[in-house]
Amino acid sequence: MSKQYETVIGLEVHVELATRTKIFCGCSTAFGGAPNTHTCPVCTGMPGSLPVLNKRVVELALAVGLATNCQINQYCKFDRKNYFYPDNPQNYQISQLYLPICHDGGVEIETPEGGKKIIGIHEIHMEEDAGKLIHDDWEDCSLVDFNRSGVPLIEIVSEPDMRSAEEVIAYLDKLRLIIQYLGASDCKLQEGSMRADVNLSVREAGAKEFGTRTEMKNLNSFKAIARAIEGEKARQIDLIEAGKPVIQETRRWDDTKEYSYAMRSKEDAQDYRYFPDPDLVPVIISDEMIDATKARQPEFRDEKMARYMEEFGLPAYDADILTGTKKLADIFEATTAICHNPKKVSNWLMVETMRLLKDREMDADKIRFSPEHLAALIQLTEEGTINSSVAKEVFEHVFDEDVDPQAYVEEHGLKMDNDSDALTSTIEEIVAANPQSVADYKAGKKKAVGFLVGQTMKATQGKANPAMINKILTEILDKM
C-alpha cells in the first residue's frame, strides 16, 4: 500500500498600499510611467538621503491588521534587512522584524468540504518595495527601473495552516476582498499590487514534524498559484519516494512550462543581518488612533451578503456575486437607493453587466456607468416606455459611454409603440402572409406563435410591446 502524504502550506503575501506617495519619500506610486521617472535621492538610495515615514502607510497597515483580527504593537520599529541585489539600490531593505505593527491574527475561510477554518496570521509588517529588473534578451543585458523602489508594502505572513491549493485560494480571496473593501489596495495580481510567495512542505499523513519547506516566487494569478502548489507537491513526493532529500531553497515558478526551478538557497533571518534602522524613530500608535480606525472600518463582504439577503430578499447566489467586488456592491446599493427595485438592479448587474465585462475583458472596477443611468434604464422598462430587447441595446451604450438612457431613447426614437389599432393592422397583414404558421398553430403547434411574434417585432423595428403582440395575435388566431 502506497504512503499517503499531507501538504503543509504557509503564505507570505505582499500588498502594495494605495497611497499617492512612497513610504519614505514624496515620489508618486502611480503604476506605469517612463522608467526611473518616479524617483528621488531617497528611493534610489543616494548617500546622505534620509527617509521620512508616510503616516498614511501606518493608517492603512493598522486598518488591515484590525480587519484580520490581529493584535497591534503600539510601539513598533523599522529594521534594515541587508542583502545585495541590483534592483535594491541601498543594498538593504527597510522592513520590520523585531517589532512588526501587527501580530497573532487570523481570518475564517470556507473549506472545499463546506466547513469553516481559521487561517492564522503570524504577523503583518510594513516595508518598502524594491525596484524592477527588465531582462533584455536581444541585447543580452538587464536594465533596472526604480519607479517601484520605495512603494509601500505590507507583508502578511500566515501560519502554516493550509493543506491544499483550494484552501490557499480561499484564504487569498478572503484577504483580497478585505483589503479592497478597506480601500487599502486594489490587489491586482497582474500588476503586482498583490503578490504571494508559497512556502510548502510535504510529510507523511499523521506525522507531527514538518517536512523541509521550499518557497516559490513569481506567482501572479490564482490559477498559477494553484498549479504551482500541485507541481511542487508532486516534485517533493517524488524526491521523498526516491529516497532523496528535499532541499530548503527558493524556487521560481514558470507557469508556461508548469515547472519550478531553483533560484537560491532559502535564507533565514540571521542571513540578512537585521538591525534597527538608525534613521527612523519608533512608531507609537495611540489608543485614540486604534479607536478611530475601528470606527472607520466598512461593512465587509460577509456582513454585506447577509444584509442583502435579509434586507433586499436576494437569493444567496445573487448576494455572493454582487459582493464579489466592492465596485459591483457599491453600484448595486446606489442604484437600489434611487429606483427601489433591488431584484431588477441585481438582474441587470449579474446578467448584462457581467456579460459585457466578459466580452470587453474588463475587471468590474473599470465600470464607468453611473447608478443614476442604470436606475433610469430600469425605470424606462418598468414603465413600459421601452421593451426588453431595446433596453439591452440601450444598456450597451450606457455601459460603454455612460449615456443618459432617457435622452438616448428620445434621440433615437426607441419608445415602445402602444398603439393597439396600428399594431392590430400590422399583425393581420403578417397572419395573412403566413398561412403555414396559421395552419401549424391550428394543428396544436404553439411554437408557430413565436415565429409570428418575431415577424411582428421585425415589422415594427423592435418597438412594439411584446405582451400586446401576444394578446392581439392570440385573439386573431383563435377567431380564425
Using one digit for the tens of pLDDT, what is the confidence trace for 63-84? Answer: 999 999 999 999 999 999 998 8
Average pLDDT (136-143) is 87
Q: Is the pLDDT of residue 52 over 80?
A: yes
Q: Is the pLDDT of residue 1 over 90?
A: no
The model's pTM:
0.84
334-345 per-position pLDDT tens digit: 999 999 999 999
Indicate the average pLDDT of the chain: 91
Q: Is the pLDDT of residue 231 over 80?
A: yes
Q: Report pLDDT for 194.
A: 94
Q: Which of 174-183, 320-329, 381-390 has the lowest mean pLDDT?
A: 381-390
Q: Report pLDDT for 184.
A: 97
Query: From CA 22, how far away is CA 53, in angstroms rounded?
Result: 9
> Which range, 108-117, 135-144, 284-293, 442-451, has the best average confidence (pLDDT)?
284-293
Average pLDDT (174-185) is 96
Q: Report pLDDT for 420.
A: 63
Q: How confident is the model at residue 408 (pLDDT cuts 50, 70, 90)?
A: very high
Q: Report pLDDT for 206.
A: 87
